[in-house]
Amino acid sequence: MILPIIFRDRFDEVMSVIIGSCSVELMVFESNSLKEKRHVIKSILGRIQSKFNVSIAEVGFNDLWNKSEIGFACVTNDSTHANSMISKILNYIERDNRVEVLNVCIEIL
């Protein structure tokens, strides 16, 4: 039997942990090979990770040269903050003219 984990701060108040995760399917325009696709995706992942401080990785379509799926997650104590972070990251990706967003799946846990 798995018991729920309850976090308490020093004033004995229950603390909540919110996890926001997102999976984004992308069409990569500036690639004619897997090497070029990896270069574009690695650049996008690095910029997002440094700008927004989230965990991010390429999680799908690894063997296709013109399509990719990336996933990212943030941990916070407020669901509105998680939604805001995800929205900002999605807007950042959509402004990059090297890729087109095809599909998005968002989960707040």
If you search the block for the tokens 């967003």, which residue do you land on?
A: 101
Q: What tens digit of pLDDT does each residue of 16-50 get?
A: 889 999 999 999 998 899 999 999 999 999 999 99
Give the other-Cβ count within 10 Å of 54's Cβ. Answer: 17
Rounded distance, CA 19 to CA 41, Å? Answer: 24
Q: What is the mean pLDDT of the chain?
A: 89
In order of start, what are the domains of the chain with their CATH numbers?
A: 18-108 (3.30.70.1120)
36 Cβ neighbours under 8 A, 6+ residues apart: 30, 65
Mean pLDDT of 53-82: 94
Predicted TM-score (pTM) of this structure: 0.83
Q: Is the pLDDT of residue 66 over 90?
A: yes
